[in-house]
Amino acid sequence: MILLENVSKSFKNGVHALRDVNLYIEEGEFVYIIGPTGSGKSTLIKLLDGELIPSSGRVVVAGTDVGKLRHSKVPLYRRNIGVVFQDFRLLPELTVFENIAFALQVIGLDKVTIRRRVREILELVSLEDKAKSFPRELSGGQQQRATIGRAIANSPRVLIADEPTGNLDPEKSQEIMDLLEKINQEENTTILMVTHDSNLVDMNKKRTIALEEGYIVADIQKGGYIHHD
Amino acid sequence: MIRFFRLLPYHLKSAIQGLVRHSATAFSAISAVTMTLILMALFMLLTGNISSFTKNIESDFRIHASIDAVQDEADIAKLQQKVESIPGVKIVEFSNKDQELAKLKEENENIFGMYEEGDANPLRDVFIIETATPEDIEPVTATLNTTEGINKAEYGGDGVSVMVDLFKAIRNGGFIFVGALSLLAVFLISTTIKMTIYARSTEIGIMRNVGATNGFIRVPFIAEGLVIGLVGALLPCIFTYFGYSYLYQILNGQFLSNMLVMQEVYPFALNICYVLLGCGVLVGVLGSFMAVSKYLRWKR
């Protein structure tokens, strides 16, 4: 599903964010990406969602060579992947229902289909009773669930979660974790979760990839957080 | 294309929603359009009328050419043909000295009555000549003065020509001013809309994240610009049409003297309204297009 071949990324200011990364993630996998600040996690995500082009190497997601995409095709490619951010990024002027429907309007579905799908999603993320609420009326956990709902609305093959629990307390974090696992199992969505939360990683053991200074320093199938000195 | 029309209700809805939800910035953009267009309307009314004044005065320009007293009727007819053949001459009218005296009497009451007795009329027969354009007046007059059989050719006088020159200067200056003003308006409105869009750059970012194409992102913003332009032009249009009709009515269609005839309300004021609406829409669409494109340009 996701293939990185000898991928390096350096910036004009001389920073080498990623160095010769090789990685293969299969369809339906749930993978943690851990590492300290500045280890290249964000760059990896930007390479995957087409925001950046690798300096060398190949990034292939769901059969698309992301680095070779023409500019105008990037939006179309992005419909294959959902992204969840630490800071939620919901549209403040739209209700929860509208926020989720937004992702479907963008790809040009008709009204009836949108309404049906949004109801399904609201049920999946347990926000049925918050459909008409605005983001500011929700708690952090609820907002993050709405964001996840928006990210998976158009049934992407890959879901990238960038520190989805970064702003939440442990209890709410576990809730989000459970939701992601549910999506992983029910919709067979490949999930890539970037996190700092060692407790979460230890409690829900999954394949864990550790990045440090742009290198992959560990790739452990049985999981567990790797502690740095 | 089919998709575009299918999404049209969505785009319109989101444009109106956007305007309502960002009503403060929308209001400032609309008032920027309104103020500029009102200024533009004022100048268009002014320059439009000045050019009509000038045309009126210019059409009053006629050359009076008095004919040598010795000419008989056959010679006069020959002379008239000759004058008509001068380039730039449009109409040549013959008026004998009795008709000229009658005209003088009409304009100046009875002072000239004493010349009517016997053979006392001191005036000469004249040709009254109209030229095709006001610019022809001077060369034609010069030609006439060197023509055999013509005693003296004269036109309106320096005072009138100074006034016409002044009007011309005001008109040209006005056109330049309106042009500069329109440029300023585009800039002003584009900046205002840029500010509204800047406030929504996160929105644009999110749209892009969920896979919206640039065209899809652009349309509601441009529709917003269009609505801003239309609404902003509405007030200046009302102001122009009704304000000018009122002014025309109380001034009775003329300004200060009957030499300065104002443009008629229809179609003059109506045409200005069309221009204002067109400018409003153009400026709104152009401004928002420029502004939104700035946020859609991105590199990988």
Give the model confidence (pLDDT) of B29-68 as tens digits. Answer: 788 888 888 888 888 888 888 777 777 776 666 788 888 8
Residue B28 distance to chain A (closest CA, Å):
20
pLDDT, residue B208, reads 82
pLDDT, residue A6, reads 93
Share of chain A above pLDDT 90, in %: 54
Give the mutation candidate from B210, B213, B296 for the A interface (greatest A CB count, under 10 A): B210
CA distances from A49 to A44, B213, B293 (A): 9, 15, 22
pLDDT, residue A32, reads 93
Tell whether ipTM is more than 0.95.
Answer: no
Helices marked H in chain A — which ranges?
A: 41-48, 74-78, 96-106, 111-124, 140-152, 170-186, 198-203
Structure-token pair, residue B93: 């009218």
Residue A119 confidence (pLDDT) above 90: yes
Helix (H, G, I), strand (E, B) or coil at B196: helix
Q: Which residue has the higher pLDDT, A102 or B263?
A: A102
CA distances from A25 to A9, A54, A61, A62, A192 (A): 19, 18, 10, 11, 9
Nearest CB to B3: which of A52, A108, A151? A108
Chain B residues whose beta carbon lies within 8 Å of the beta carbon of residue A154: 210-211
**B209 CB burial (10 A radius; 0-12, 13-18, 19+):** buried
End-to-end C-alpha distance for chain A, whole angstroms: 33
Q: What is the DSSP letter of B252?
A: T
Cα gap B27→B35, rounded to integer Å: 12
Structure-token pair, residue B70: 């010795």
CB contact under 8 A, B210 and A150: yes
Q: Give A219's strand partners.
A: A209
Cα–Cα–Cα angle for B124, B122, B148, rounded to 5 degrees: 30
For residue B201, the chain A residue with the least C-alpha distance is A91
Cα gap B123→B98, rounded to integer Å: 8
Q: What is the DSSP letter of B254?
A: B
pLDDT tens digits along A143-162: 999 999 999 998 999 999 99
CB contact under 8 A, B300 and A53: yes
Give the mutation candidate from A106, A147, A150 for the B interface (greatest B CB count, under 10 A): A106
pLDDT, residue B204, reads 80
Share of chain A above pLDDT 70, in %: 99
pLDDT, residue B58, reads 66
pLDDT, residue A178, reads 92
CB contact under 8 A, A154 and B7: no
Share of chain B above pLDDT 70, in %: 84
For residue A155, the chain B residue with the least C-alpha distance is B210
- Range with top average pLDDT, A30-34, A165-169, B134-138: A30-34
Range of weakest confidence among A120-124, B52-56, B73-77, B264-268: B52-56
- The set of residues, in sequence order, having a beta carbon less than 8 Å from that of B95 and lying 6+ positions away, is B103, B125, B126, B127, B128
Q: Are B224 and B15 in contact (CB under 8 A)?
A: yes
Q: Using 50, 70 and 90 to split pLDDT, how confident is the model at B180?
A: confident
pLDDT, residue B16, reads 79
A89 contacts chain B (CB < 8 A): yes
Residue A80 distance to chain B (closest CA, Å):
9
